[in-house]
Structure 1
Amino acid sequence: MKKISVRLFFITGLLFSLSAFTMIKTGSIQGKLMPADGAIEVMAINGADTLRLNAVNGSFIFKNIKTGTYTLLAKAKPPYQDIVVKDVAVIDSTTTDVGTLKFQQ
């Protein structure tokens, strides 16, 4: 009887730990850069976490990122200036569209 109780305890603990992994909340950020050839890369920054990607044809999408508030940084090629967008909210199971970001010279 004691062995059954111990096994049941471990199985219950395992099930709770597995369910914790499925509870990670994620969302997405998408947008466009104009002119499309003006971008080097786009970064999404949340605290110590920095995600980077290349903007393909001026479009970008950060998929399945942790929920929270991000700062976007679009690094520009000369003669353009970098773009910074603060307080971009990522909500669970939602895509946040920041629209079209235009590089200035």
Structure 2
Amino acid sequence: MTYVTVQPCVDVKDRACVEECPVDCIYEGARMLYIHPDECVDCGACEPVCPVEAIFYEDDLPDQWSHYTAINADFFTDLGSPGGAAKAGAHPFDHPSVAALPRPAQ
């Protein structure tokens, strides 16, 4: 099991979770942060610091966001396991489902 970021993170990317993650497994996409399912050690440090409550343990995901387990995993299909978000840097893309979400009004 792993932790998963969900829709409230889109266009927020607060990064408090990144600062708390002891294994550097939270990667930055263009509009959202993604937790690498193979690198996450299930410590839970990220969950309480998220200001928009966008991080859930996989077994505790609300039904409306259950598809975000696959979205987080699929984000890494081409990236593989870089071995740390800091050295990988921000990525200029998102999972297609996230990229397709409407942008907030300016």
Greater RCO between the two (CA within 8 Å, min separation 6)?
A: 2
Fold shared, TM-score > 0.5 on shorter chain:
no
When Rg is computed on C-alpha atoms for both structures, the one with the higher figure is 1
TM norm structure 2: 0.32
Structure with a larger share of its residues in strand: 1
TM norm structure 1: 0.32
